[in-house]
Structure 1
């Protein structure tokens, strides 16, 4: 008797399957487990699911035919992207439901996107001249028993968060000058005596972005700035440090074998264990989404400070306060996103629900953390866009010189969004500004580099 080869699954693991039903066992596993619901995950994440599943199978501990690996790789080669719902996994026995939707397509079932078309699995394969496969013993289990749904989200977030963190410092730099904040909190000596890597990096970047700005000086008429300005290195930096850890977890998982049972061909052993359990990813993703939330939280506080009519700025950055409301309600909108992120940042991994008749009695809920983390990140991008709108308006009103780097970025932005001359509809401007920030190239190649450890 060998689990997943000639037995049932989950709490049915003691049910022996006769030889003539072994092929049906694997196909039925995929069909019965494809129970996902909710919005489809993005094309980028589906590609990462395919790539990480292929890599895991290629480690050689999963007992699948090479032709099965080639069939998955063909989906990537031809950009046939299975339609994978975002909800349905508990993040413990592997990401069973989403990976079942992924696997259906190589069987010629389910649905996939090819370009702008949504096709059946059979149609998608046929369009590219591919044939469906028949799963052999254990192959269905190997294809769906793994953490690739959580992992794909984590890897995507790791890449995007590195960009977000860099641009959060760019955006904050504009607000620093717009608000006439002083440079003293960014002095390298301050961070040398509290040498957390993240805060040291953020302070150095802000100094770089604002070099040669005559407004970025240590002594001002006001003695101290509010925490949302004075503590940018500490808050942004802590989130950077969290995501360095999260990225390390994800990169290690990308090198791992996470299906069950594990086949050791050198000694002829098949060991049933628990590498499918997503707890390492769940905890990391919960930690990561809280760190993401903080970039948005402190950004909204800077927007609020820019609205208060302090330091030579008009109330709400309006040209005619009273007749005009300026960005008053922009701050409301940012606050609503911050509040939503706080709800989504509640840890998922502290929850567990008994499943499979008590056989799977502790689950990670890492898939929920993964989906929520992506939504939090998307909302943070929007909040940063709102701050950039506020910061650049503050620069326009104050006439303060931000230095050549920031001034060049503001000039580029004004080709996308002209300077305001009065009240106008801001909804489209928020979306355009988000696109502008996400389009900016990042020249810090060392910061964007990933290394396996």
Structure 2
């Protein structure tokens, strides 16, 4: 088991162990002190009788509605219940594990005004592998991931459904089985739980882990294809990439040379004058996608160390702002979609080149072309997947629909 503490800065490899459920997370003394101090700061402001959004007011366009002190707990519970309105297929276990821990890590920064017990409860669910049922659809990408996080956090108070192994059951039953007591929410705590970008972040981290694998396999399979196609090693020589200051293409070219090391038929000089772009420009195209995901990884890791709920509790003030807005992640993931689509697009073009019956290869790689169709329809399937990925690479971050009676007018 990998041991991590909430006060550490984590890398993608750390998040990968969390997604797999093979990490233990320590709510260390440093983080616990920050959280307790923030809670004290919040109580100090609350006891002064100030109107503070989401603590003693309504939410969204109801922000001008004052909430009596005796209804503050009901306000937080009702928030989770009303906002758990997601739909669609359920998120997989890895995503939910990432959400639980990402929410705990964000709260542990100590600017949310909550009690430490909320973080204890989130980590208890993670360590027991009691995973809330979280529908995939419902977040607008701003105002925090309100619907998904409501589904994530209702089990903290013993409500909604959870996954235990392969069984979906009532959260109250699951908590009882593993010896976890439901908590009672206090002022601001419901809002702190559901206001944030942890659904977007978890999905982004999960895709980033997959992108690392795609990068490796794209280079390996591209190398094998180049060998089969009697390609030249000239496009991968170091000098080519030293004169163009793009780290990604140099990395890919070097990896191709490592994969093909010792291949006697992969030489600079061949009997063919030039290779098609899908082979010759592999470093440039694969490298651009690789660089894109390195950039996206940094955005995601920074978000994992951030406070993304609202309002933000400081020592002398509680400020309402917009750290919940998902635009930094949305734009990064749009970039990631383009990078993934290009890996697929150039790969399909290499498949097509291998089907053409050139350079000593039989048509469609069939042993008895005509009687046999070989891999003809494999290329069709690849083309269908590429078309689908191109359609899905259209930016999502530019879309916005006014919500909450105009209070949340850019989401």
- Which residue of 161, 186, 206 maps to 1:111? 161
The alignment partner of 1:130 has SS state of coil
> Partners of 1:127 and 1:325 in 2: how far apart?
57
Distance 1:165 1:89 in 2: 29
**Unaligned residue ranges in structure 1 (runs of 5+):** 364-453
Distance 2:391 2:87 in 1: 21
In structure 2, the residue matched to 1:272 is 320
Residue 160 of structure 1, CA deviation: 2.0
Q: Over residues 383-421 of structure 1, what are the superposed CA-to-partner deviations in whole Å (9 max), with x where a residue is unaligned?
A: xxxxxxxxxxxxxxxxxxxxxxxxxxxxxxxxxxxxxxx
**Deviation at 1:19?**
1.6
- The one of 119, 122, 132 equivalent to 1:69 is 119
* From 67, 71, 77, the counterpart of 1:27: 77
Q: TM-score, length-normalised on structure 2? A: 0.87
Q: 1:99 aligns to what?
A: 149
Quote the offset at 1:163 in angstroms: 2.0
Deviations 1:5-53 (A, max 9, x none): 1100000000001122111110110010001111111111111111110
In the alignment, what sits opposite 2:332? Answer: 284
- Equivalent position to 1:313, from 357, 361, 367: 361
Distance 1:327 1:49 in 2: 42
Q: Deviations over 1:258-283 (max 9, x none)?
A: 00000012xx2100000000000000
Please name the residue that 2:16 is paired with.
none
- Alpha-carbon displacement from aligned partner over 1:78-102 (angstroms, at most 9, x marks no partner): 0111111111000110000000000
Moved over 3 A (4+): none
> 1 CA distance for matches of 2:358 and 2:133?
51
2:307 matched residue in structure 1: 257
Query: 1: distance between equivalents of 2:345 and 2:158?
Result: 46
- Which residue in the other structure is 2:231 paired with? 181
- Deviations along 1:97-155, whole A, 9 cap, x unmatched? 00000001111111110111111111211121111111110000000000000111111
3-state SS of 2:328 partner: helix
The counterpart of 2:91, out of the listed 29, 41, 57, is 41
- Aligned-residue CA RMSD in angstroms? 0.7
CA positional deviation for 1:195: 2.1
What is the aligned partner in structure 2 of residue 213 from structure 1? Answer: 263
Q: Structure 1 CA distance, aligned partners of 2:324 and 2:191?
A: 11
Q: Match for residue 342 of structure 2?
A: 294
SS in structure 1 at match of 2:163: strand
2:137 to 84, 87, 94: 87
CA deviation after TM superposition for structure 1 residue 75, in Å: 0.5
Q: CA deviation at 1:158?
A: 1.8
Instruction: Give 1:257 deviation, angstroms.
Output: 0.2
Looking at structure 2, the residues matched to 100 and 303 of structure 1 have their Cα atoms a distance apart, in angstroms, of: 45
Distance 2:366 2:213 in 1: 31
d(CA) in 1 for partners of 2:85 and 2:366?
52
